[in-house]
Structure formats: structure tokens, C-alpha cells
Structure 1
Amino acid sequence: MIYLSEQQILRIKKLDQLKLLGINPYPSEEYVVTNTICNIQKNFTEKGTISIAGRLMRLRILGKASFGEIKDHTGRMQIYFTQDHLFSSSYEMKKEEVYNIFLKKLIDIGDIIGVKGFLFKTKMDEMTIHVHQLTLLSKSIRPLPQVKMDKKNQKIYDAFSNTEQRYRMRYVDLIVNDHVKEIFLKRTRIIQQIRCFLNKKGYIEVDTPILHPIPGGAIARPFETYHNTLGIPLYLRIANELYLKKLIVGGFHGVYEFSRNFRNEGMDRFHNPEFTVLELYVAYKDYYWMMNFTEKLMKCIFNKFQKKENHHISFKTPFPRISILDSIKKYTGFDLKEMKKEELRKVCKKLHIEENIKMSKAKLIENIFEEKCEKNYINPTFIIDYPIEMSPLTKRHRYQENLSERFELIINGKEIANAYSELNDPIDQLDRLREQMKLSKKNESISLDLDFIRALEFGMPPTAGIGIGIDRLVMLMTQKKTIQEVLLFPQMRTEKKGKK
């Protein structure tokens, strides 16, 4: 049984009253809009008639005159109604009924309306539309949260600020919290800027499959599904890396994809089960080249979107470069270069870091770095030259056999990007993947993609690749502390029964 509040019941009764008056509360006809609020405010003139549409956010009835506020996709504006001048050509109602019955008794805050009228400024010098024609475009049967602002004391009351409600009902969050929309507009502009930057370099945007026959390209637990016609299990993409490298084998020089990835793992303020990554692969390059390229890309984004907002992070180039083992030694005092797995476990115990016998050497090193080192890198820093055990898809270091040509970009204490000189030796790659399969934990998945090995056997040119976490990058550029703030619809726990 669906619970209806008193307000909902009243609004549903108004629906019936509207229909009795011959008013369709959800009309099909196009409503002609001549202006947006932003355009009106930028080019204000008291000449001519304008028509706009939007959501009624405020309504104050004052006898024969009333004030309200309408919100469209560009902003908010005051509207003004008077009994003598309000009519509607859309409905068969007497002039006085439009104001006294339609507006005063049947229109509610939250309704989507169309208004036509002329512009003027009030005695308080506020731009206002004097409405002479009112049209109901969509009746709202749930009341909006009424956020109140004490302008004198600069205080907000009854704000829609509960985080669970905001994330679960993002549509309400966007209606009542104007600043939220700006986060997602900025996210779109950041992606557009990256796309423009890459396109100017001549790199090609591509699409690769989301449904994979085997999970590959990263060590992670996948989401599994089943294809009825083929009679086979399929896995939601955990990474698109292998497909993009197959395209490099096929002759593309540079390819990229804004990839929606899925990992059946934990959730916290930096992780969501589905997330967006930019993956880029460029032939005949290495990780040194990619570091220089990444500096240019990051500086371009920072200069456009955050330079004036965040002064505690410096994007001055070149970014510092430090090996992961040197970083660990600097912040823990332990030199891990020659340590075996059991010695690493002892180090973890001394540092009070999670460890167990099932963890691989790579996982232990990763845990130490993430717990003790990562948080110290506020300005953009390249952490380079990871132990070979940590990087199964990466070329061995040209000077040190036990290291790999890999870097991670850390900004504000979190990983933003991960990049390699891509391994293109099919024999070494096969051996490395087999070794990883032996070491992987039960709740992680790394599979042997024989088609990828076959592709490498045809020959892949030396290639540099990078993955940039778009969600974390947007967090950085919008100064948000949780990934949920920059996802329109973050994954949520099942809503408890009885919640409205």
C-alpha cells in the first residue's frame, strides 16, 4: 500500500478539480518559449512581450496581487500577478476566475508553468515579469522541500541537505539546491575539454564492448550476467585496456575512450561500483613521453577550471617524480627493495597495516604506500617505477629488471591516473598473466585472455597508455570530498520500506 501524505491527497484532489474545469494538468501541446531567464537578465528591456516556462518555486498571495518565483534551466526570476490583468486564452474561464480560482486555489509550488507578460522593475529594482497569461504545463503532486533564506542574517533554514536523500532523490536536489547543477555542468565541460585536447592531437575516440566474455585488463571482482541465446556467462567491463591495445595492433596510432567500468567491490567516498575512466593509448611512445603529455593535459584542465578557486595546489611543471619504493622509505623508514613476502608482512604489522597470508607481495606494497605515503602528495606528483609484481601489463624497466615502467599521478593525496609503457612481448605477457592468476585472491579476478595474447603475437608497436579517473578528477576540480557528490545517480543501498 502506497502511503500518501496530507499534502499529496490535497494535490490529487486539485487534479480532479482542474479536469472538471476542462484544464488538462499534463497537456501535450508545445509551449512556445521566447526567452530564457538568463537571457532576460543579461539583456533586460521593458519593451515587448516575453514567454518563458519553468517550475514555480515561490508563491505569495497578497489579495488582488501576488508575487512568485519561476525557475528555468538557466536561473530564477520574480513573477507578478494581478487580478485585473491575469487571463488565459487556453482555458474557458472568466478573467476573475483565472486569478481567484486557478492561481489562488489550484496552482502549487513545484508546478511547471508557462507565463507570458511584460518586463518591469519593482521599487526594489528587481527584474520581474508581469504575467498576463498563465498556463499549467505539469502538475506536481509531491510538495518540494521549502528552503528558506534569512537574507539579513545570511542563514538557510529547512535546507534539503541530508546526504542520503540528496543522492537518492537527485532530481529534488537539482531543483532546490541550485549549486548542485553547476557541479555536473562543470563535469561535462571538463570531459569536453579533454576530448577537445585529444582530438587536436589527432587521436581517435572509439567504443569498446561493455559485456566481456572474460574479465580482463585489471585485477578486480566483476559483475557477472548470462546471455540466454549464446548460453554463456558474460561480465560487465572492469577495464577496456585490452580492447584498446588490440586496436593499436590493428594499426590505429592513438585511441581513447571515456569508459564506464564496473567493479563488484566495496563502496566508500572514493569508490562507486560503476565509474568513468578515460583510457588513452598512443603508439611509438613510452611512459616518459606520457608523463610529459599528462603534465600538459592536467595544466590545461587546471588553468581552465580551477586556477582561481584552489590556491593550495600548484600545477607548476615539471611535476616531481619519485619511485614508489623511495617514497615508502621516505615516509616509513623501511627499504623494501630486497624484501620477500614474509618480510613485507612483518613491516605491515609494525606499521599497523592490514595484511594476511593470502595477500600477494604486490598487494602488501600497495597497502603500505596507500596508508603511509599517498596522503602526503598534495601537489601533482608522479610516483614511478613500480615493482614488477605490481604491474602485470607493463614493460620491465629498461635499466632495472625487477621494476616496471609505470607511474601513477597523485594529486591532493589520491591517485588520479595510472600509466605504463605497455608490455608488447607476447611470451613475457603470457607468463606474467599466468603468474598473476596463481597469486590473485578469491574475491579478485584476473583471467587469461588468449585472444589478447594472439593479438600481441601479430605484433604491437611500443605503446604508452594511461587511465585517468574522471570522477576523481572532477572531485578535484570541484573541490568535493566524496565521489557521490560528482555522480548524478550514485549507487545506494536499498531504500527502507515506509520511506516516502
Structure 2
Amino acid sequence: MTDQNANQDNTHDLYAVRLQKLENLCKEGRNPFQANCAQTHTSAEAVKLYKEDVADEEQPRVAVAGRIVTFRVMGKASFIKLQDRNGQIQCYVTRDELPEGEYNTYFKKLDLGDIIGVEGRLFKTKTGEITVRAESYTLVTKSLRPLPEKWAGLTDDDKIYRQRYLDLIVNKESNKRFKQRADIIKEMRKYLWERDFQEVETPVLQGVAGGAAARPFVTHFNALDCTFYMRIALELYLKRMLVGGEDRVFEIGRVFRNEGLSRRHNPEFTMLELYQAYSDFRGMMELTQGLIQHVAEKVIGSLEIQRPDGQVINLGGEWREAKYKDLIIEATGDPEWFSYDRETKLEKARDLNIEVDGELEDYEITNNVFEKIIEPTLIQPTFVTHIPKELCPLAKITKDDETTIDVFELCINGQEIAPAYSEQNDPIIQRKMFEEQVGEEQQDMDTDFLTALEHGMPPAGGMGLGIDRLVILLTGAESIRDTILFPSLKPIID
């Protein structure tokens, strides 16, 4: 029998034992699934109440509740630890404090994973741990399945992602990371609210998959009998808000792209997009840098992030700015790169050991060079500016170089974190740029958006920030799956 099968059999046996305990409790008139439970304080709040200069009998009384994660029985007394949203607190339960027969007949038969409430006074043990001396307890939820083994934790990646609830119970790092993720989003909102940005909500189901070049998820709207798409970007509806007179808007929301899974990509992910009238891509530089620095200081308490390899990413000071073309010339060592035809670029890219699809367009070959040999080296914050106009039809063309657009892509830790534009507000040029898109980068033309532009959109800067990637950066997560509570997985069919 393999270790895995033995573990499954053991789990099955434990499940049967717990089912029997449940049946016994019910037969004895006890409710193992209560509707509610008194909880006056969380674990952290209760610990803060303890008074060093006060006798035990005068310490505060508290009612705490949580999942049993440690259970040490010592004859007539037991120490347990309850885990709640703030952490853990120890409780001391004795036979003499509980009603006659309760301790041996019921309390000692509780299991790890059971959820209980405990009431009593605080005291400090000889080892210095603040503890609740239980005067009463209530079983509020019987756990029928055992938790992962205490010391090994939950280490199987598939189980971590499929059974995230177990991961959150037993893996402190995961629990901390998702609390930090929530704090990151909270601090983003605070930063933008303080700058008079209005938060809005735009449609998730859209008639045109616009705002980015990506393959959408397709669905059918029965009531209207037509095809709809899960949004691939937030952009075009937010720009409609600018037309409508809202000068500063943002949205934090899910977007969906029916593409590959990787360490940095999940088909469903979270974006912040914001637009500010009477600004441009340089205004977005200042805003983006300030936003990320604010979030880092508030959530992780530092502008320095240490990578697993020991290298330190410094988010402070002035961030580097480099033109896309200059980086390409530097990486290829060829000042003439942008004068070559498609076939020559294809050959030279392969000479650089870059696997390039022979069907790619000229600008796509160049972008392969950027993505594969330049972007991974951009560890310190770098604004890569003036990218080829073919890569995005929604930005202003650079005045002194008609082959590029007023755009930056912020790269940190070897990946793009946030692109930003000087937004195209000329409806004639915007229509032409949509029409001139070629290859895989082509996106559907949203004619209603063009109509909105024809009513007049003020000059504006816009920025999109991948929240999952920012969480990777700030928390040191290894994969985007470690930043998403329930990442996309192939369903298991029983």
C-alpha cells in the first residue's frame, strides 16, 4: 500500500470515528451545530486586555471562540489553543471548573478542528502565556474531517489551491499574505479617495470585448438572445465616464482573459484602472509611484523588498526611466535594429537564442526581444516609455516620433506591473488606429465608444495596475496562484 493510499484510509477511519461521535452527541440531545456563539473579544483583543499589575481574580472576563488547533490533555486539566481571524489564544480547562461529568464525558472527546466558544478570566501561565481560565465552554461546530497534520502542514500544491480553506487554517504565511492583499486594496482606495478620485462600477458582461488585445470568454445572453463577453479590460467604460464629466475615476475589479495559465497568468485576475482628466502619461508616473510607495509603507512597512536570491528591490527615491527603443538597441547591441525588415529581425532574434514564431509581425518580433531578454532583467522600478504604436491603439502618438506612443510600462522584479497612457481623445485618429491594427493584437472595435469620443473627451492620463502582480512583489509570493484565494483549476469529476 502506498503512503498516499494509507493516508486516505487513515482519513476515512477518522471520518467514521467522528461521525460516530456526532451521532452520539445528537442521541444525547446535544446540538453540535449551534446557530450562534457569544464572542466578546478576538484572540488578539483578549490578550491586550490582560493587566500586569492586577491579581488573577480581578482580571477581565472574556468570551472567545475559534477552532481547536492544539489539544494537550493532562489528567484533570487540558490546555487548548483556539484559532480565530486574529491568531490564537490558549485556554485552560479543568475538570473541577465544569459541571460534574462534563470534562471526562464530553470535553476530552473534542477533536482538533472543532469550533468552540470559551468563557472565563484571563491569567498568565508560568511560561508567561496569557490564557483564558475556562469557566464554561460550548461546542458550536463539530468538525467531521481531520485537519492536515500539524507539523507537516499542507504542502501539496493541488490541495493548497483546491482546498484553500485548509491552507488558511494551517499555513500562517498564506493566511498573512491574504490579509496583506486585503490591506493593499484598502490602502489603494484610501490613496485615491484622498486625491478626489471617484470609485465606479462598470459592466462585467459586455457586448464588445474591447480595451485590450486578448481572447475573451464568450457567453450567451438569453434574455436578449445575443452574444456577450466577459470583460477583458475596464478601460472603455471608464473613459465614457470622462466624457460624462467625471474628471477622476477608478475601478478595482475582475477581468477575464481566455488564455494560458502560468506562474504570472491566471485567466481571472484583478485590475485597478484609473483615469484623470487634464493629465498625461507623465502625470501617471507621479501618481503610480506615489501609490505603490504608499501601499508598501502602509502594508509591509518598508520601501525595500528582499528577493529570495538576496537582491533588494528599492522602491524609494527616483525611479529609472528608459525608452523602449534604447533598451532594444542596448540588448541586441545593434543600433540599426529598427531599420531592418521583418525577415532580418526574425533572423537576428533567433541569433539571440529567442524562439520566435515565423508568422509574427515586425513589431511583434521586437516585442519578443523585449519580453524575453529585457523585461526579466528590470528588477528595480523602471518606467519603459515610448513603446511602438502598434502595441496599443488607445494612446496618443508621440509628437517627435510617429512610430511610438506616449506610454510607459512600469516594470519591477522582472515583470510588468502597470502600463499607463496619454489617452487618445481624437475620435478620427482613434478610429483609424483601431482599423490599422493587425495580427494577434487586433481587438474588436467598440463603435459606441467612438461615438462617445465624438462628443468630446478631455485630455487624460490613464493607468492600469495588476493587483495580483503587486501582491507578488510586496509579499514575496512565488506564483500568481499564491495571491488568488481560489485560482483557476481544472474541475475534478467524481
Give TM-score scaled by structure 2 length. Answer: 0.92
Q: What residue in structure 2 maps to residue 398 of structure 1?
A: 399
Task: Give the equivalent residue in structure 2 for 1:350.
Answer: 351
Q: Secondary structure at the match of 1:115?
A: strand
1:55 to 57, 67, 70: 67
| Residues 288/123 of structure 1: CA separation in 2 closer, same or farther (3 Å cut) | closer
**C-alpha deviations, 1:242-281, integer Å up to 9, x for none?**
1111111111111111121000000111111111111111
Match for residue 270 of structure 1 among 264, 272, 276: 264
How far 1:455 moved relative to its partner? 1.1
RMSD across aligned C-alpha pairs, in angstroms? 1.8
Task: State the one-letter code of the partner of 2:429.
Answer: D
Alignment partner of 1:244: what SS?
A: helix
Q: Deviations over 1:285-343 (max 9, x none)?
A: 11122212222222222333341662511223331111111101112213432233223
1:178 partner amino acid: K
- Are the equivalent residues in 2 in contact too, given 1:361–1:389 (CA < 8 A)? no
Equivalent in the alignment of 1:318? 318
The answer to whether residue 103 in structure 2 is matched with residue 99 in structure 1 is yes
Aligned pair partner of 2:227 in 233, 239, 253: 233
Q: Look up the match of 2:134.
A: 131
Q: Look up the match of 1:296.
A: 290
CA distance in 1, matches of 2:439, 2:243: 28
CA distance in 1, matches of 2:486, 2:156: 15
Is the aligned partner of 1:446 residue 2:443?
yes
Q: 1:287 to 1:496 in 2, by over 3 A?
A: same
1:31-110 alignment, distance < 5 Å? 31-45=37-51, 46=56, 47-87=59-99, 95-96=100-101, 98-105=102-109, 107-110=110-113
Q: Which runs of 4+ in 1 moved over 3 A?
A: none
Secondary structure in structure 2 of the residue aligned to 1:401: strand
Q: How far apart in 2 are the matches of 1:285 and 1:127?
A: 55
2:476 aligned residue (467, 474, 479): 479
Q: Which residue of 2 aligns with 1:90?
A: none
- Distance in 2 between the 1:495 and 1:334 partners? 51
Contact 2:211-2:236 within 8 A present in 1 as well: yes
SS in structure 1 at match of 2:403: coil
Number of residue pairs matched by the alignment: 473
1:93-148 deviation digits (Å, cap 9, x = unpaired): xx22x11111123x111000011122222222222222121211001000001213
Tell me if 1:117 matches 2:124. Answer: no
What is the one-letter code of the residue matched to 1:37?
S
Alpha-carbon deviations, 1:382-423, whole Å to 9, x = none? Answer: 000011111211111011111111110011111000011111
CA separation in 2, counterparts of 1:129 and 1:317? 48
Amino acid of the structure 2 residue aligned with 1:109: L
- Single out whichever of 204-213 and 337-346 deviates more from structure 2: 337-346
Contact residue 332 and residue 372 of structure 1 kept, 8 A: no
Give the match's secondary structure for 1:460: coil
Q: 1:48 and 1:281 mapped to 2: Cα distance? A: 51
Q: Distance in 2 between matches of 1:145 and 1:125?
A: 29
Partner in structure 1 of residue 435 of structure 2: 434
Native 8 Å contact 1:424 1:462 kept in 2: yes
Could you tell me how far apart the structure 2 residues matched to 1:144 and 1:282 are? 49
**Could you tell me whether the CA contact under 8 Å between 1:257 and 1:279 is conserved in 2?**
yes
Deviates more, 1:408-417 or 1:422-431: 422-431
Matched residue SS, 2:408: strand
Q: Structure 2 matches for 1:148-167, cutoff 5 A?
A: 148=151, 158-167=152-161
Equivalent residues of 1:70, 1:76 under 8 A apart:
yes
Secondary structure, in 3 states, of the residue corresponding to 2:402?
coil
Native 8 Å contact 2:387 2:407 kept in 1: yes
User: Residue 91 of structure 1 aligns with which residue?
Assistant: none
1:213 alignment counterpart: 207
Between 404-413 and 444-453, the greater mean CA deviation after superposition: 444-453
Instruction: Tell me which amino acid in the other structure corresponds to 1:295.
Output: Q
Please give the alpha-carbon distance, in whole angstroms, between the structure 1 residues aligned to 2:44 and 2:233: 41
The aligned counterpart of 1:6 is 13
Q: Distance in 2 between matches of 1:164 and 1:334?
A: 45
Report the AA paired with residue 23 of structure 1.
R
Structure 1: any 5+ residue segments left out of the alignment? 88-94, 149-157
Partner of 1:420: 421
**Structure 2 residue aligned with 1:339:** 340
For 2:4, the equivalent position in structure 1 comes to none
Q: Structure 1 vs Structure 2: percent identity of aligned residues?
A: 40
Aligned twin of 1:462: 459
In 2, the alpha carbon distance for the partners of 1:309 and 1:56 equals: 37
Whole-angstrom distance in 2 between the partners of 1:362 and 1:331: 16
- How far apart in 2 are the matches of 1:310 and 1:462? 36
Q: Note the C-alpha offset of 1:48.
A: 4.1
What is the CA-CA distance between 1:84 and the residue it aligns to?
A: 1.5
Q: Could you tell me which of 127, 130, 145 is aligned with 1:142? A: 145
